Amino acid sequence: MLDLHIHTTASDGTYTPTQVVRMAKEKGFTLVAITDHDTMDGVAEAMEAGKQYNVEVIPGVEISSGVSLEVHMLGYGMSPQHPVIKAMLEDMRLARVERMYRIIDNLKALGIPITAQEVEALADGAIGRPHIARVLVAHGVAPDVRTAFREYIGLGAKAYAERRKMTSEEVIGNIRAAGGVPVLAHGGLLRLTEVELSAWIDAMCKAGLMGLECYHNAHTPEIERFLRRAAKERGLLVTGGSDFHGETRKDVDLGTGLNRWDDRQACRGRFLKAVREARKKAAGEETK
């Protein structure tokens, strides 16, 4: 079994990279990808755990991109130490911190005094809105994380603040330059019509998009069929992942949403081949 979309405490997951890999082993997974939000800080620990538990771990990341339309891009196979990746993720880190302070200011204007120190204390790695939501829950402002998002910090909510992001084309280019494989994450959540999503995929293919996450915990069979068809027509990789975060989403376990992925082994082989070839190509270009 495989799961190519997993979060850890390096971003907004509740289990450490080692715990995630151990859980994967216990549940029978042989291939996982660690794809924390805007950081690869959990990759080294996960890969060491992979050796210990005999689970193949693919280094990865989930990048929030786009301007008018927020798009999440998965990148697979890059080294966290590649200069292009390091520069991009440092910029992402600063953008997250900047937004945290703007949201805190907005909350203070609403009479809700929380501090940056409280938020940072919950974040082992990249700071995100889920950490702010957990502080709001701890203060009794909201009964749970989902309510905190809906009422205060989600898109259009009272204290929401936009985060500075790169374009999807820039993110795809950076992932490719670093020897990685860029894949659109959970395209079914973009709230686009099939015509609009098809046009967007076509535009991203010109920028170097290599795959579509067809299987995800929030995808319906109809969305899966549409994305599979789109991938086949364009020669793109087919991937799938649960988007596991741990205790904050008790309804999503490792492997959730992948039960209809009947040809996952064949897709696994094409995916791993693409990861190997992307690394070799980038390494060859660096030596020219």
pLDDT at position 176 is 96
Within 8 A by CB and 6+ apart from 40, the residues are 10, 34, 59, 60, 61, 78, 80, 85, 89
pLDDT at position 185 is 97
Q: Which of 125-139, 201-215, 238-252 has the lowest mean pLDDT?
A: 125-139
CA dihedral 277, 278, 280, 286 (to 10 degrees): 160
**Model confidence at 155, in pLDDT bands (50, 70, 90)?**
confident
pTM of the model: 0.85
pLDDT at position 73 is 97
Average pLDDT in the 63-86 region?
92
Average pLDDT in the 106-126 region?
87
Q: Is the separation of the CB atoms in 7 and 245 below 8 Å? A: yes
CATH class of 98-153: mainly alpha
Average pLDDT in the 39-64 region?
96
CATH 1.10.150.650 intervals, the chain? 98-153
**Of 59-68, 110-119, 145-154, 235-244, which one has max mean pLDDT?**
235-244
Q: How far is CA 122 from CA 112, 138, 151, in A?
A: 18, 11, 21
**Model confidence at 156, in pLDDT bands (50, 70, 90)?**
confident
Average pLDDT in the 174-193 region?
95
**Model confidence at 93, in pLDDT bands (50, 70, 90)?**
confident
Average pLDDT in the 12-16 region?
92
Spatial separation of the C-alpha atoms in residues 115 and 135, rounded to whole Å: 9
For the domain covering 2-89+168-286, report its CATH number.
3.20.20.140
CATH 3.20.20.140 intervals, the chain? 2-89+168-286
